[in-house]
């Protein structure tokens, strides 16, 4: 039995995002990722990113583009509020980060930084 048809694989497909993981190379997004479907390749992107990607059915490539265009995304997950900012560091060496609270910086491997602020 193939992993994506097994009970465990089906559970992963339905629940991985709740734990911050995404299916990196989905079957219906091969033209976007440029990589053949791989039902065993999950990647940790963290919450709230995996929840947003799940809600909008986005690949990692589509998600980074979404953040670049939106500039700021906010919401609530697991009872806590968050804000996500995209900073194109190719145009600046200074990154705006919150002065209070908790935040995470993530490079996008394309000249930008994603700042996730937990409020």
Domain boundaries of the chain, sorted by first residue:
3-118
Token couple for 76: 């609530």
Instruction: Report the topology of domain 3-118.
Output: Phosphorylase Kinase; domain 1 (3.30.200)
Give percent of the chain with pLDDT exceeding 70. Answer: 97
Q: Exposed e or buried b for every residue in 30-49, given b needs 16+ CB within 10 A?
A: eeebeeeebbeebeebebbb
Report pTM: 0.89
Confidence of residue 111 (pLDDT cuts 50, 70, 90): confident
Token couple for 94: 């200074």
Confidence of residue 91 (pLDDT cuts 50, 70, 90): low
């Amino acid at each position: 039995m193939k992993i994506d048809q097994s009970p465990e694989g089906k559970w992963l497909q339905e629940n991985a995002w709740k734990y911050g993981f995404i299916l990196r190379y989905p079957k219906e997004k091969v033209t976007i990722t440029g990589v053949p479907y791989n039902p065993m390749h999950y990647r940790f992107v963290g919450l709230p990113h995996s929840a947003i990607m799940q809600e909008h059915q986005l690949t990692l490539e589509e998600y980074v583009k979404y953040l670049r265009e939106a500039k700021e995304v906010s919401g609530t997950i697991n009872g806590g509020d968050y804000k996500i900012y995209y900073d194109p560091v190719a145009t600046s060496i200074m990154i705006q980060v919150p002065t209070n609270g908790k935040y995470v910086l993530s490079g996008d491997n394309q000249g930008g930084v994603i700042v996730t602020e937990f409020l």
